[in-house]
Structure 1
Amino acid sequence: MAETLGNMKRSHMCGTLGTSNIDQEVTLMGWVQKRRDLGALIFTDLRDRTGIVQIIFDKDISAEAFAKAEKIRSEYVIALKGIVKKRHAVNPNLPTGEIEVFANELKILSEAQTPPIYIEDEDDVSENLRLKYRYLDLRKPKMQKNLMFRHKVAKVARNFLSDNSFIEVETPMLTKQTPEGARDYLVPSRVNPGKFYALPQSPQLFKQLLMVSGMDKYFQIVKCFRDEDLRADRQPEFTQIDIEMSFVNVDDVLSVNERLLHRVFKETMNIDIELPLQRMPYKEAMERYGSDKPDVRFGFELRSINDIVKNCGFKVFADTIKNGGDVRGININGNGDKFSRKDITKLEDYVKTYGAKGLAWIKISDEGINSPISKFLSEDEMNSIIERFDGKTGDLLLFVADKPSVVFDSLGHLRVEAAKQLGMLDKNEYKLLWVTEFPLFEYDEEENRYVAKHHPFTSPMDEDLDLLETAPDQARAKAYDIVLNGIELGGGSIRIHSSELQQRMFKALGMTTEQAWDRFGFLLEAFKYGTPPHGGIAYGLDRLVMLLTGSDSIREVIAFPKTQNASSPMTEEPSVVDEKLLNELHVKVSLDN
């Protein structure tokens, strides 16, 4: 039968004990990690979130405690009193390995059945089972360290922003549904039949309104929601560190955020990142790395050979250029001998998943040049290509010919895949950079119109204002992303603060004046009453913690995440709702496609 604590008060956490506590009486509480019965002595490892300490139950010290200890098993919850003693057989692998506690009193607070998963970091169990028993999974030291580290990152960010005059303000969770961005989660209104709230994809409009209100500097560590297809770094609900400032330009926003990142890295990882961070315009990032979130821990940069092969005998190259396409390649410097013909075929299959039709290659070895396309190229053309890539013995050149978007996407991913196969991606190396001057618009072929690259409240570059109506595809934005090791940590922009410019932006996006006022009228109305220039940024807290802990998925740093189909095996959500409640909400469910 479970006992109560009574007057027993915990004096120490398990992992905090050390040689300075020798001969002290301590009161400990936690879970039994394991138990070993040696007859006259029972050894127990006691665990709490700070670590493990060895407990000894000796019949000669307390027969009553010893008798109870005979009953305990793994994952029982216990409380005990005892004396800290120097350990004779020191365990160098345990922070508390120099001491042990001889118990003189024991209470069994809760018994436990054999858990369906082991409470060990290296437990090889399916993720679905881990999520079904997440409360057990979270007992693992690694998971508890991840959540404590997440707390520390959030605390450091909150402290830094508070120290720099930012005010934390909460914004609504039930908001107006707006058409831009990802798909919204909708909440039906019972008191307003037929109408819906949306859960916020971000606090974007509200933080701009806070700037209109004169708040000047705002931040919030906030939940956001997007109904989109999931992957390793996406969840239907995620957490942002959201920041907005008034009377600022791009340099101002980037400067304060570099100092924020420096504080986070220093206080959580004891790493001094070098400031100022590298800045790279979007166009340069795409040209060199094929990505707007480039991993710059290694080379393998893209280079164009359009001028060399536009009239060559290899029709795939020549015809692609003739049809307005692009031919680019990368050099897997010095690693050609590590990729067999079979390996190159696998790389070709890899780029095909990004739309490429094939992968041409040139391998340079001591025996000379080996390439299936060499017979179609003249000696001058081949030499020019090799010179373009600074080719040397041992190099492997890989090429894609297609429309530019496919070339960038496939080669951008290929360079990372090759570096991964070569073991060049060091999780303990952190390369941060800003990507700036994004396109203001991108063309959506499905909707047959331009859509905002970031969101419709992003300000155009001053020198590109006249392009809104004449050449929107060439207009650049005062937008910036912060990238770490090829993953976007966050992004932001200087916002539009003029009603006139905002309406021009809506018009460029294909909205009539009536549509703009129907969807965003409250923002346009607010802009009439004096709006300061303002801008900000939002970080993905989950992604940041994932990278800093070396985790492979944000599910490893979120207490109760969803699976890739946005469900929870533990709570069995989403679930069917009672018909009575649906009627109260004036909602009918149809499963027809």
Structure 2
Amino acid sequence: MFQSRTHTCNELRIEHVGQQVTLVGWMENVREVGGNLAFVILRDFYGTTQVVVETEDMMKLVKSINKESTIRVEGIVRERDSKNPKLSTGDIEVLPSKIEVLGRCRYHELPFPINRSREADEAARLKYRYLDLRNPAVKGNIVLRCQVVAALRQAMTDHGFLEITTPILTASSPEGARDYLVPARNHPGKFYALPQAPQQFKQLLMASGFDRYFQIAPCFRDEDARADRSPGEFYQLDMEMAFATQEDVFAVLEDVLPPIFAKYGKYHTASSAPFTRIPFAQAMDTYGSDKPDLRIDLTAVDATALLADCGFGPFEGSVVKAVPVTNFTATRKQIDKLCADVEVQSGGKVYWFRLDEKGELVGGISKFLQDRKEAVTAALGLKPNTFVGLTAGKKLAAQKTAGVLIKMLPALAPEHMDKERYAFCWITDFPMYEIGEESGELEFCHNPFSMPIGELEILEKAHRGEVDPLTIMAYQYDLVCNGVELSSGAVRNHDPEIMIRAFELVRLGEEDVKAKFPAMYNAFCYGAPPHAGIAPGVDRMVMLLAGEDSIREIIPFPMNKNAQDLMMDAPSTVSQKQLDELHIALVEPEA
């Protein structure tokens, strides 16, 4: 064995009865039965073992030890009179001849019960994360994360990818989220930036002649937290392939991910190759989202021509989307709550009506539809006892509200969701450009280094005014699983001429591109291969596999929603000496 123990706390079985053993771990609990009899639960990383105290001296010693102290127990294994079939060590117990305190817990009261730490306030859990992680259920998520990362590494290596680490201190990127900046002590007034992603480095590796690259890459973005996004840092399975197409990238992940999800996931069924491919425009129109949950069999139907002139005010001049739901038995109170919840999340209202068991239109806005009952029934393919949720507004708003409605409906109509599986899909053909909300001008929609579909020819047509730039699609794709976006990827724009023409549409010329991306532009001028890649989020993958709703549950030491590490008290102030060395002066914000 190793260290000072002969066995772990999950190792002893009936065949060990009579053996002299040494166990170490945390004293989880003490249950006094009376007199000099007590049962001590000893816990280590691997499990628990019951220790039975039967003498006055041992009882006195155990009473002097606070729970969660670390101890060593030497003793004889014996068969339990009252076995516990729920425990792997439930057939035995240890009668101690010696108990030694290795690390004393100096607090009689803990911030929370260890085995019920997940019920505690989140701030307390984050401040005392080292105690929270002693909970086997919490620790299990971190073990799962380790297993998944190891499996990803092995799978990528088996596919011929080389794991190459890229720099953590790099240059600030003018695109994407806010950078975390690091002052350069030897270069006053200049800053490094922590990488938002290894995007440029991995493309430079392709230009350097490496064929297949990957890494479990740390990424740093100064952005707000949400349930599926941790503030500060996150990890992704970053990969890039030379001389590759979109389909080459798809083929790798369709081979790598399903076995890992099936083996380690809460659900043991995952989509097999090929994953469903859905163009972005179709996804928005059919599912109201570019992150559809394909476990749900509900879709949105365009009902504008059918209902816009029905006399119901919100439909006039609007795009109308309808979501029919068969065998719907929810009450009016449940429907009202559903509509309210959708509005809170989407900002758009939901209207509704029903085709009852007698084939009559009832409830909601049904009074506006009586004169076109047959047309509505036929157009929407309605059967008796069908609920129809309706959204209206500008096209995108109507679509997004319908998308939120679709994802909430299974709570009232569970038969429309095959919950216990992992359903993957690719969202493809994203727009290359969009009108910026703040600028009101043409901007890149996602990654500016993506190859436009149509390449140089389509860009030249846009420059000549023959094509609306907003209609240009890109070889960009998202990987979605169960309604969660795992990753964005693209076929890269590796041709400097195409790159310049793409940037000129957003008012940036060749000199701007050279100044903002000097290394990549120059490398491509020396002959770069066509290349493509993607970077699925490790944190989000493990969150799905563990069946958790919050990404903080699968990160060893997460920050809170305000990007604070309550355990380490970060961010924190630093000394004036440190600031002087870095040539930094603090300016207090105005009141």
Please give the TM-score of this superposition, normalised by the length of structure 1. 0.92
Indicate the residue corresponding to 2:214 in structure 1. 219
Indicate the residue corresponding to 2:380 in structure 1. 389
The answer (yes or no) to whether the contact 2:37–2:53 under 8 Å persists in 1 is yes
C-alpha distance 463-28 of structure 1, shift in aligned 2 (>3 A): same
Indicate the residue corresponding to 1:280 in structure 2. 278
CA RMSD, 1 decimal: 2.3
Deviation at 1:69, TM superposition (A): 2.9
Of the three residues 336, 347, 364, the one matched with 2:338 is: 347
Instruction: For residue 101 of structure 1, give the secondary structure of its aligned residue in structure 2.
Output: strand
Of the three residues 521, 525, 530, the one matched with 1:528 is: 525
Deviation at 1:544, TM superposition (A): 0.8
C-alpha distance 40-461 of structure 1, shift in aligned 2 (>3 A): same
Of the three residues 19, 28, 46, the one matched with 1:24 is: 19
Alignment of 1:363-378 (within 5 A): 363-366=354-357, 368-377=360-369
Q: Does 1:145 align with 2:137?
A: no
Instruction: For residue 338 of structure 1, give the secondary structure of its aligned residue in structure 2.
Output: coil
Indicate the residue corresponding to 1:419 in structure 2. 410
Deviation at 1:50, TM superposition (A): 1.3
Deviation at 1:463, TM superposition (A): 6.9
Deviation at 1:310, TM superposition (A): 4.2
Indicate the residue corresponding to 1:191 in structure 2. 186
Deviation at 1:406, TM superposition (A): 0.7
The answer (yes or no) to whether the contact 1:356–1:407 under 8 Å persists in 2 is no
The answer (yes or no) to whether the contact 2:269–2:421 under 8 Å persists in 1 is no
C-alpha distance 97-145 of structure 1, shift in aligned 2 (>3 A): same
Indicate the residue corresponding to 1:4 in structure 2. none
C-alpha distance 427-546 of structure 1, shift in aligned 2 (>3 A): farther
Bigger mean CA deviation after superposition, 179-188 or 361-370: 361-370
Of the three residues 505, 510, 515, the one matched with 1:508 is: 505
Amino acid at match of 2:87: L
Deviation at 1:459, TM superposition (A): 1.3
Indicate the residue corresponding to 2:570 in structure 1. 573
Instruction: For residue 15 of structure 1, give the secondary structure of its aligned residue in structure 2.
Output: coil
Amino acid at match of 2:575: D
Distance, in Å, in 2 between the alignment partners of 1:272 and 1:398 is: 31
Deviation at 1:106, TM superposition (A): 1.9
Alignment of 1:31-110 (within 5 A): 31-38=26-33, 39-59=35-55, 67-110=60-103
Gaps of 5+ in 2: none
Q: Does 1:259 align with 2:255?
A: yes
1:124-160 CA-to-partner distances (Å, cap 9, x unmatched) read 2111111111111111011110000000000000111
Distance, in Å, in 2 between the alignment partners of 1:147 and 1:412 is: 33
Distance, in Å, in 2 between the alignment partners of 1:216 and 1:117 is: 51
Bigger mean CA deviation after superposition, 116-125 or 543-552: 116-125
Indicate the residue corresponding to 1:3 in structure 2. none
Deviation at 1:587, TM superposition (A): 2.2
Q: Does 1:228 align with 2:223?
A: yes
C-alpha distance 123-174 of structure 1, shift in aligned 2 (>3 A): closer
The answer (yes or no) to whether the contact 1:435–1:483 under 8 Å persists in 2 is yes
Of the three residues 147, 156, 159, the one matched with 2:151 is: 156
Q: Does 1:442 align with 2:446?
A: no
Deviation at 1:422, TM superposition (A): 4.4
Distance, in Å, in 1 between the alignment partners of 2:222 and 2:374 is: 51
Deviation at 1:198, TM superposition (A): 1.3
- Identity of paired residues, percent? 39
1:516-539 CA-to-partner distances (Å, cap 9, x unmatched) read 111101110011112111111111
Of the three residues 543, 554, 565, the one matched with 1:546 is: 543
Distance, in Å, in 1 between the alignment partners of 2:541 and 2:48 is: 28
Indicate the residue corresponding to 1:359 in structure 2. 350
Deviation at 1:356, TM superposition (A): 4.9
Deviation at 1:231, TM superposition (A): 0.8
The answer (yes or no) to whether the contact 2:342–2:408 under 8 Å persists in 1 is no
Indicate the residue corresponding to 1:136 in structure 2. 131
Deviation at 1:226, TM superposition (A): 1.0
Distance, in Å, in 1 between the alignment partners of 2:54 and 2:160 is: 58
Instruction: For residue 95 of structure 2, give the secondary structure of its aligned residue in structure 1.
Output: strand
Distance, in Å, in 2 between the alignment partners of 1:20 and 1:503 is: 74
Distance, in Å, in 1 between the alignment partners of 2:262 and 2:437 is: 45
Distance, in Å, in 1 between the alignment partners of 2:585 and 2:399 is: 45
Amino acid at match of 2:451: S
Deviation at 1:385, TM superposition (A): 2.5
Counting matched residue pairs gives 576
Instruction: For residue 536 of structure 2, give the secondary structure of its aligned residue in structure 1.
Output: strand
Distance, in Å, in 1 between the alignment partners of 2:346 and 2:38 is: 63
Bigger mean CA deviation after superposition, 394-403 or 462-471: 462-471
Deviation at 1:490, TM superposition (A): 1.5
Amino acid at match of 2:277: R
Indicate the residue corresponding to 2:168 in structure 1. 173
Instruction: For residue 26 of structure 1, give the secondary structure of its aligned residue in structure 2.
Output: strand
1:329-382 CA-to-partner distances (Å, cap 9, x unmatched) read 1123221x3140x444433433434565533211221352114534434623x3
Deviation at 1:97, TM superposition (A): 1.1
Bigger mean CA deviation after superposition, 431-440 or 167-176: 431-440
Deviation at 1:23, TM superposition (A): 3.1
The answer (yes or no) to whether the contact 2:479–2:486 under 8 Å persists in 1 is yes
C-alpha distance 584-364 of structure 1, shift in aligned 2 (>3 A): same
C-alpha distance 450-93 of structure 1, shift in aligned 2 (>3 A): farther
Distance, in Å, in 2 between the alignment partners of 1:378 and 1:427 is: 36
Indicate the residue corresponding to 2:444 in structure 1. 452
Distance, in Å, in 2 between the alignment partners of 1:474 and 1:386 is: 35
Bigger mean CA deviation after superposition, 125-134 or 568-577: 568-577
Deviation at 1:393, TM superposition (A): 2.1
Indicate the residue corresponding to 2:288 in structure 1. 290
Distance, in Å, in 2 between the alignment partners of 1:383 and 1:587 is: 73
Distance, in Å, in 1 between the alignment partners of 2:66 and 2:522 is: 66
Distance, in Å, in 2 between the alignment partners of 1:171 and 1:408 is: 40
Indicate the residue corresponding to 2:200 in structure 1. 205
Distance, in Å, in 2 between the alignment partners of 1:504 and 1:463 is: 10
The answer (yes or no) to whether the contact 2:227–2:549 under 8 Å persists in 1 is yes
Please give the TM-score of this superposition, normalised by the length of structure 2. 0.92
Instruction: For residue 385 of structure 1, give the secondary structure of its aligned residue in structure 2.
Output: helix
The answer (yes or no) to whether the contact 1:356–1:400 under 8 Å persists in 2 is no
Deviation at 1:314, TM superposition (A): 3.0
Instruction: For residue 529 of structure 1, give the secondary structure of its aligned residue in structure 2.
Output: coil
Deviation at 1:123, TM superposition (A): 5.1
The answer (yes or no) to whether the contact 1:359–1:400 under 8 Å persists in 2 is yes
Amino acid at match of 1:225: F
1:35-68 CA-to-partner distances (Å, cap 9, x unmatched) read 1234333321111121111112343xxx865653
The answer (yes or no) to whether the contact 2:514–2:521 under 8 Å persists in 1 is yes
Deviation at 1:122, TM superposition (A): 6.2
Instruction: For residue 95 of structure 1, give the secondary structure of its aligned residue in structure 2.
Output: coil
Indicate the residue corresponding to 1:15 in structure 2. 10
1:374-433 CA-to-partner distances (Å, cap 9, x unmatched) read 4434623x3323323322222211111111111111111111122235456676322112
Bigger mean CA deviation after superposition, 389-398 or 550-559: 389-398
Distance, in Å, in 2 between the alignment partners of 1:538 and 1:516 is: 24
Deviation at 1:95, TM superposition (A): 2.0
The answer (yes or no) to whether the contact 2:449–2:499 under 8 Å persists in 1 is yes
Indicate the residue corresponding to 1:408 in structure 2. 399
The answer (yes or no) to whether the contact 2:355–2:361 under 8 Å persists in 1 is yes
The answer (yes or no) to whether the contact 2:456–2:498 under 8 Å persists in 1 is no
